[in-house]
Amino acid sequence: MVFEKYNANPFGKKTGDCVVRAICKASGKSWEDVYKGMFDVAMKTGYAISCKDNYKYYLKQLGYDMQKMPVREDRTRYTVEQFVDEIAKPRGIYVISIANHLTCVRHKVLYDLWNCHRKCVGNYWIIKRG
């Protein structure tokens, strides 16, 4: 698995915008467009902008259905690295939920501010199959 440091924040800030960054990298949209889209959802629903319910609604609005947390037959969970190596498609793009964080895997490369490859995968969204 390959990790590439990625920060879409236009001001280079390392702030609590992991949701916006992950969706930017996965969707190809700008940080500003994703932030505004999520803000619009927050204004409509009353959820905080980075709240799980808000980004679930936003991703659904973009046409992406949430996938349940993948588990093995023995009910053990996959780490991000194992997800990339064993589940992710070579040309697939995913937004992955891990504990209190969202990250992006694009074409089997993990993009984030920090290498979260050892964290366990929760629910995820398939942005592009392939």
Mean pLDDT (the chain, rounded): 96
User: Quick one: pLDDT at residue 50?
Assistant: 87
For the stretch 74-89, pLDDT in tens is: 999 999 999 999 999 9
Tokens 């800030």 correspond to 13
Helices (H), the chain: 18-27, 31-45, 52-61, 80-86
State the Cα–Cα distance between residues 7 and 61, nearest whole angstrom.
24
Number of domains in the chain: 1
Please check the confidence at residue 130 and state whether its pLDDT lies above 90: no
User: Quick one: pLDDT at residue 110?
Assistant: 98
Question: Could you write out the DSSP letters of every residue in 41-71?
Answer: HHHHH---TTSHHHHHHHHHHTT-PEEPPPB
User: Whole-prediction pTM value?
Assistant: 0.95
Task: Determine the structural domain holding residue 55 and report its residue range.
Answer: 2-128
H/E run at residue 5? strand 2-5
